[in-house]
Chains A and B, each alone.
Chain A
Amino acid sequence: MIGIIDYGAGNLLSVKKALDYLEVKSKIIHSGKDFNGVEKIILPGVGAFKEAIVNLKKKGIFEKSLEWLYADKPFLGICLGLQVLFEESEESPSETGLGFFPGKVIRFQNKKVPQIGWNQVYIKKDSPLFSGINDSSFFYFLHSYYVISHDREIIIGATEYGARYPSIIQKGNVYAVQFHPEKSAAVGLNLLKNWVTLC
């Protein structure tokens, strides 16, 4: 059973629809106690950093997520769900992130913002996540901020938009992607399926 975290602003419905299409069982997580009986967690995202953190705290999911992450249980952050794993964001000076990964989130410079559309992911490290997926495949991106990771070891995929930035992060069983696999057609579904079955 996959748990999809609902913190009010996410695109959890499209993630749920993609999992339904792949015939993978999932449920929506509204509070800390909904983590019971779940094997893998997805933190989807669209919306603002601050709102996300405030809502995660309000619903008792912030602490529970940290426990989950530090126990190295299977986790997938999507878009904003990748960004909140880091320490802080320019988007929200007052609310810090989960801080599981060292680094910060900054805004794109000298480019059209938000970045909307299909961009390439350059594979930096082998991973079961990439099974059947070619290097430089296009995924659908939709974001105004990107992460600077102080730990370069965790970057397994990178993308270029003005700057080269981490678009896939992995440490142990914790994965995070800056794009939307649930909106990235066949290659996105392939990646989701890989995460569900192989990661």
Chain B
Amino acid sequence: MLATRIIPCLDVDKGHVVKGIKFKKIRNAGDPVELAKFYNDQNADEIIFLDIGASHESRETMLDVVKQVSRQVFIPLTVGGGIRTIEDMKRALHCGADKVAICTAAIKNPELISEGAAIFGSQCIVLSIDAKRQGDGWYAYTHGGRQNSELDVIKWARRGEKLGAGEILLNSIDMDGTKSGYDLELTRKVSLSVRIPVIASGGAGTLSHILEAVVAGKADAVLLASLLHYGEYTIYKIKKYLQENEVIVRW
């Protein structure tokens, strides 16, 4: 049976992992290569690298990180942040990324999804959606959650699927960093509206939050950042909990 994926997300700025990481076992916890190896050893199902530096220099360093990681870590790697053109995608994939995540650039230029899918295959293209609740619905935001694109999230997710996205990375701006749980209604609505996998992100604070995202939210995978980075939970502990609650996980 297909397992629910646990995906650590590393925010990288100029080659360093940004969120304070407090693992004792790792000599240099700010080093994305070391951290990727650490999560791989813990049975992470994939790893996502987000370049939050968003400068030319930061992107170059990021590609170098991916190159190094892909020589030592043999699980799927996704790169996001600052990918704006087909050329950017090509370079990321060439450096060892298996998938690229696009957010703002896809809203500005939806053809980036279809062109990317035609050239590299749908499985390479992850449509990242930053969603913010407003009234009864949600809107997709751009520029790291600062600008409202006024696109309805459900409609945008469906359109992204039609254009050829292979997966949706759904981040709730409202819940991000709150540790009070995923936006389950959002996750569920998007997951039931498309026929491609949905990765839930934003809001996890406890093990039961993760379980809820999978069971009630119908998420195919969950993205975790600070919860793992600060050492509150290990991937092992999360998977064990999910398994005890009849969710299929991979060991």
How far apart are A159's CB and chain B's nearest CB, in angstroms?
9
Scan residues 82-122 of chain B and give those whose CB is less than 8 A from a CB of chain A.
94, 96, 98, 120-122
> Are A46 and B76 also in contact (CB < 8 A) when A112-B196, A183-B98 are?
no
- Tell me if A66 counts as interface (CB < 8 A to partner B): no
In chain A, what residue has the closest Cβ to B118?
Answer: A48
Q: Please count how many residues in chain A sit with their CB below 8 Å of the partner chain's CB atoms.
A: 35
> Are A185 and B221 also in contact (CB < 8 A) when A21-B71, A117-B197, A118-B2 are?
no
Binds B, one of A12-20, A29-37, A82-90, A95-103: A12-20
Which chain A residues lie closer than 8 Å to B3 at the CB level?
Answer: 117-119, 138
Interface of A (DSSP majority class): mixed
Pairwise interchain contact B122-A117, C-beta atoms closer than 8 A? no
Pairwise interchain contact A21-B74, C-beta atoms closer than 8 A? yes
Scan residues 64-120 of chain A and give those whose CB is less than 8 A from a CB of chain B.
112-120
**From A46, A117, A118, A119, contact of B121 by CB (8 A):** A46
Q: Please count how many residues in chain B sit with their CB below 8 Å of the partner chain's CB atoms.
A: 31
- Tell me if B40 counts as interface (CB < 8 A to partner A): yes
In chain B, what residue has the closest Cβ to A162?
Answer: B2
Pairwise interchain contact A183-B197, C-beta atoms closer than 8 A? no
- Using a CB–CB cutoff of 8 Å, the interface residues on chain B facing chain A are 1-5, 40, 43, 45, 70-72, 74-76, 94, 96, 98, 120-124, 166-167, 195-197, 220-221, 250-251
Shortest 5 CB-CB contacts between residues of A and residues of B: A138-B250, A118-B250, A118-B3, A119-B2, A142-B123
